[in-house]
Amino acid sequence: MSRSRKEILRDRIDHLGVHEHAQVFAIIKRYTNEFTRTETGALVSSESLPEDCISEMERLVAFYLDQRKQMDADDRVRKSLRKE
């Protein structure tokens, strides 16, 4: 797996909220127990994650970002209707 693919996934995960991070972590825990808990979260080496785990996380993150984009579009429509 390419390093750039993992970096893109990491950057996309950084834009998620706390509850979404928890769901991503739940996926990670299904595939490995090699992580370090910190005060601000958990540290995971992408080297210890199998391809299936990375793929599942990518699908989940894409879903969350798509949903956020849809909600933002709906909000813009609602705001434009209020102005009329």
Q: Which residues of the chain have pLDDT under 70?
A: 1, 84
- pLDDT at residue 66 in the model: 96
What is the extent of the structural domain holding 27? 3-83
- pLDDT at residue 53 in the model: 96
Helix locations, the chain, DSSP H: 3-14, 18-31, 51-83
The count of domains in the chain is 1
> What SS3 class is residue 50?
coil
- pLDDT at residue 1 in the model: 65
- pLDDT at residue 78 in the model: 87
Rounded to an integer, what distance in angstroms lies between the CA atom of residue 61 and that of residue 9? 8
User: Could you tell me if 62 and 71 are in contact, meaning their C-beta atoms sit under 8 angstroms apart?
Assistant: no
